Amino acid sequence: MLLKDYRLASLALLLLVLLSCENKNKNTPQANAAAQRGNRPMQAEGFIVKTKSLSENIEVPGTLLPFEETEIRPEISGRIVYLNVPEGRFVTKGTILAKLFDGDLQAQLKKLQVQLEIAQQTASRYKELLKIGGVSQQEYDLTELQVNNLNADIELVRVDIYKTNIRAPYSGRIGLKSISNGAYVTPVTIITTISQVSKLKMEFTVPEKYSDNMRRGRIVNFTVSGSNNKFTSSVMATESSIEANTRTLKVRSVVDGNHPSLVPGAFAKVTLEMDKNDEALVIPTQAVIPQARNKRVILYRNGEAKFEIVSTGIRDSSFVQITEGLKAGDTVVTTGLLAIRPDSKIQLSKIH
């Protein structure tokens, strides 16, 4: 009995100590401050919904290209007997860049010319004989046919001789040469390249949803690394279809002007203004809370938080257009969004 009474007394003493400690903790300054904070409204910043001019800008990478670029190849096989490739320099249209050996073609041309002269004399004599009945019409026609065949053969040889002169197809800058004088070349041999860099073009891609905005003549702004200047170009054409893997549309534009910073092959940062609304109802982008099925904002009404479903439109780096759910003059909360619960008390420390 004594042992049992002793255990009961010890248990009672332990409970008394625990209760006293709990009461002591409740009266601490930290506990009192927490209780006071629970009753205070949350501090947050707000924004008054208003209308302003808003445009949606996107940035896409682009590449500068020569307006024209051609690989210079011979049309026929042969040995180079003259090479005129001024690497890195400008040449005018029609300049002879290389000459192939044409001695055999020249000899063939002379032979055909001699044969043509004899055939023409024969045809002339047969024509006179035909008048007096010395030859038949068929014999005369055969001589005329031979003359015509020789003229055709001569024209073919002259075309081949012309092909031995490799000319610049347009005025432009010559690239590096790939062969030397005396080399034997074929139609697959690249002698050099020529680029028309007096005017440039630019290629870039845009997401599928903006494809309707890329009309011919649209002005496109861009910048290049190493220069603070802003340049412009106008859309020349677009690809006929959208790339299935990337869901993008390739666009080609003509660059306006010729600046030293614009070098073929350079990377360009293209800025596109897709949509613009001069009377857009806007709020800061951070005020929108994305949900699984919709988007919400927190309205400040009579000191309380009210959650409202909204629909958004175009946006830029700071603001987003609200198409449904708000009206001008409403106040939305822009800070502390994750800690605010519906109908919780709010005190706005700053209103924008």
Helix, coil or strand: residue 277: strand
pLDDT at 342 > cutoff 70: yes
Give the amino acid at 19. Answer: L
Does residue 55 sit in helix, strand or coil?
Answer: strand
Q: How far apart are CA 22 and CA 18, in angstroms?
A: 6
Average pLDDT over residues 93-98: 94
CATH of 42-55+277-351, one of 3.20.20.70, 2.40.420.20, 3.40.50.450, 2.60.120.680: 2.40.420.20
Determine the Cα–Cα distance for residues 51 and 220; give it in Å rounded to an integer. 27
pLDDT of 35 > 60? The answer is no
Q: What is the mean pLDDT of residues 273-301?
A: 88
Quick check: 112 pLDDT over 60? yes
Instruction: Give the mean pLDDT of 45-62.
Output: 88
> Residue 16: what pLDDT?
60
Q: Is the separation of the CB atoms in 94 and 168 below 8 Å?
A: yes
- How far apart, in Å, are the Cα atoms of 99 and each of 23, 29, 210, 336? 107, 99, 50, 78
**Backbone region of residue 21 per phi and psi (left: phi > 0; alpha: psi in -120 to 50; beta: other values):** alpha
In 3-state terms, what secondary structure has residue 96? strand
Is pLDDT of 28 > 80? no
Which CATH number fits the domain 74-100+164-190, given the four candidates 3.40.50.970, 3.30.70.2080, 2.40.50.100, 1.20.1430.10? 2.40.50.100
Mean pLDDT across 238-242? 91
| CATH number for region 102-163 | 1.10.287.470
Residue 21 phi/psi, 5-degree rounding, is -65, -40
Residue 61 has pLDDT above 60, yes or no: yes
Mean pLDDT of the 124-153 span: 90
| Among candidate residues 239, 335, 339, 228, the one with its CA nearest the CA of residue 284 | 335
